[in-house]
Amino acid sequence: MTKAKKRFAEARTVELLDTASDRLPDVCVHGGEPCPGAPWQGLPYERQLAYKQEQVGEALARIGGLEGYELEEIVPAVEQWRYRNKLEYSFGETDEGLALGFHARGRWDLIVDVEDCHLGTEAGNEARNAVREWAKEEAIPAFDRRAQRGVLRNLAVREGRRTGQVQTRLVTVKARFPRPPVDLHTIVEGNAGGSEGPTGVLGEERLREELCGLELEMSHGAFFQTNTEMAERLYAVAAELAGLSGRERVFDLFCGIGTIGLTMAGRAGEVWGLEIVPEAIEDAERNARRNKIENAHFMAANARTGVRPLVEKAGKPDVVVVDPPRAGLSPKIVRRVLECEAQKIVYVSCNPTTLAPNAAQLAEAGYRLTRVRPVDMFPQTPHIECVALFERDPKRVAAAKREAEEAASDGE
């Protein structure tokens, strides 16, 4: 057992005594162990898809108490391997010397060296290996969190799948060493747990990518889907469910570098994006100009406090698109979304267990969950994305308001 929780425990496989007849041999292996980023690789892909579809329906029923909607067929991945456009690696020390790879499953203090990760492309693997060889040649040690000494912490490798650009960002503590062969160099405090800090530009500052016919640029700290090909399919599903006719005002909350809003702009009257990261908003505005999109506008603000000012500035939307992080929407943000009184809410979720309670809140306030379509962004893992469509039902909304008013009067 590697970790004990209140309701469950985590363990490491020691020996397989009996295997299923359709179990597949591991494809991605590091140091004799299956890749930590591909825990489902022994499962045939058709079964992965079936389990993920079931996972979405079960979460909505068990957690959200929802029924009466259409759970559509899952969209399979274009590529089952080498699909990731971003991978982050950690430095460590082993008996064989400097390692650059992943944390062993269940361990924060043990790094498994990686030579070829099948989740990334050959170009990305070559970029990682080149940085490790440089560090070995220069005899630069990995940072030891326990002893609080050393230099090298992390390496992020990002790729423009359509442009062929490979961008590397090295994260170290503050120290003197030869110029590293990377595009970006971030310095963090020795005892800091994250990988964010002052970043110097040594090569390409922004990553260039093409998506849904758009030319995009993004800063290193801006969010971008890690599966480019499936991001196109995910956004196509969102646009389909939004059902735009060319006249609608669309709010794109948690818009990042503007990808969803910009891909919808050609079918909308106007798009307004909201994002808390200022650098991402700068990227979104730059991307709108680059693609000559004039009906897309962006604001840097927290969704919790920024929706009301956005409504005051732009007016109420016809469609609200939300693409929140794994934690989903807080109750206050749900209330702000409800205040928009949009006819449709398109919810892009990377975690059905947080979509479910949000869906229940929207349903309680008068919205009907009508369609949900899972999209497999991460083959070989249990993670699943989906797009859900909520439609405003005036009768339900009025009934919900009456119930809320009656409850408030009873509590007085």
Active site residues: 350
DSSP β-ladder status, 70-71 and 33-34: unpaired
DSSP annotation of 265:
G
Pairing of strands 33-34, 385-392: unpaired
| Token code pair at residue 354 | 């947080």
86-94 and 152-159 as β-strands: parallel, antiparallel, unpaired?
antiparallel
DSSP helix/strand/coil, 307: helix
Residues belonging to the chain: 412
* 304-311 CB contacts, 8 Å cutoff, 24+ apart: 304/330, 304/332, 304/333, 304/336, 306/274, 307/251, 307/253, 307/274, 307/333, 307/336, 307/337, 307/339, 307/340, 308/336, 308/339, 310/251, 310/272, 310/274, 311/339, 311/340
Q: CA angle, 240 as apex, 53 and 237 as ends, to 5°?
A: 35
How far is residue 283 from each of residues 23, 64, 107, 216, 397, measured CA to CA in Å?
44, 36, 36, 8, 37
Q: How far is CA 380 from CA 117, 128, 393, in A?
A: 13, 22, 39
Gap between the Cα atoms of 121 and 84, Å rounded: 8
Q: CB of 88 within 8 A of CB of 50? A: no
